[in-house]
Amino acid sequence: WDAVFRTHVGGTWLWARAAVPQMQRQRSGSIVTVASQLAIAGGRGNSAYIAAKGAIVSLTRTMAVDFAGDGIRVNAIAPGAIETPLLKRSFARHEDSETARETSRNRHAVKRFGKAEEVAEAALYLASDASSFTTGIVLPVDGGWLAA
């Protein structure tokens, strides 16, 4: 529990704290944090991770309000299941990993897992001036997981 919170929540807070003073000096900036669709939907058997990602959502919204007057926008992306080594290890924990993989894949409205590049594009949007009127939001990049 402590290690997961230290990594996810503590790590997010530490890098944001390091970046904010420069952003305050320049009176602009954009912070994009990484949550998870599980922070919104919940899930089984992963309470520390899901709670930590939920804390990042709350931290993001709080920082958005705290730093808006400094010209700093703070938003989160909430990826769904993304084809990464971490996802592969997650399925490997199951007795029947292939069935677990197919069940998860089919849970997504688009019937596939996401790509890292798709998450990066969402983060790029939130970091760019194209989202200049956007702060305090959580953008799901989840292939319709939350909609299904």
Q: Which two tokens stand for residue 85?
A: 């080594």
Indicate if 125 belongs to the active site: no
Contacts of 83-92 spanning 24+ positions with Cβ under 8 A: 83/113, 83/114, 83/115, 83/116, 84/116, 87/113
CA gap 145, 148 in Å, rounded: 5
- Catalytic residue (choose from 30, 35, 49, 79): 49
Q: Is the dihedral of CA 24, 30, 34, 37 positive or negative?
A: positive
Residue pair 143/80 in contact (Cβ under 8 Å)? The answer is yes
Active site residues: 49
